[in-house]
Each structure stands twice: as C-alpha cells, then as structure tokens.
Amino acid sequence: MAKLLKPDPLGSIDLLSAVLVYLTQSFMPPGIVHIHAGILVIKGLGTVIRPAKLPFFMFVLGGMADVLSAAILFTGTPPILSNYKHIIAGALFIKGLWSLWGLMQKF
C-alpha cells in the first residue's frame, strides 16, 4: 500500500500562505481573497496528496497566486506571524516568479 501523502515543502508553503491570506486584513475585496485562498488550498493539497494529478493551468494559476499572495501579505495585516510578513511575502514572490519562469521555459 503506497503512502497517500508525500512530503512536499512547496505544497506546505501553499497551504500556509492560503491560511495567512485568508486571515489577513487587506485592500482586496473579501470574495476575491476567499477565491484566491481556495486556489492555494487546492494547489497545496494537489501537490501534497500523492494520487492527485493537477492540470497544467493550475500551476500557472498557482504561480500567479503566489505573486498575488505576496502583495496581499506585504500590504495587509496578518493576525499571525506579522513580524515576519515581509520575509514571507518576499519568499512567496520569489517562489511565484520562479515557478512562472520555469513554466515559460517549457514553451
């Protein structure tokens, strides 16, 4: 019987950023923030759960979602880890640009 979960730090980062974005007070309308956090949760679970195979467009959306998450966390006020919001936002921005750059290399 194969393991259902695989240790993937990038998927864990997506899940953590989804929670942070969902709880952050920001300039974005709440409906957009909830949809955005939902995309991050789906992408995070899709990379952590082994049998799930995500389509290509989900990774493009995930890269753009990481960049948008960085903007929301950088300008907003998260209730937890607020002392580290600039570091987390910078890491998410680099992760988003890195994944989008990697996806552009496929074409």
What integer pLDDT is reported at residue 93 of this predicted model? 93
DSSP element (H, E) containing 58: helix 56-75
Instruction: Report yes or no on whether pTM surpasses 0.85.
Output: no
Higher-pLDDT residue of 3 and 40 is 40
What integer pLDDT is reported at residue 1 of this predicted model? 44
- The CA-atom distances, in angstroms, between 36 and each of 3, 16, 23, 24, 100 are 29, 13, 12, 12, 17
What residue spans define the domains of the chain?
Answer: 9-104
pLDDT tens for each residue of 34-90: 888 888 888 888 888 866 677 777 778 888 888 988 888 888 888 888 888 899 889
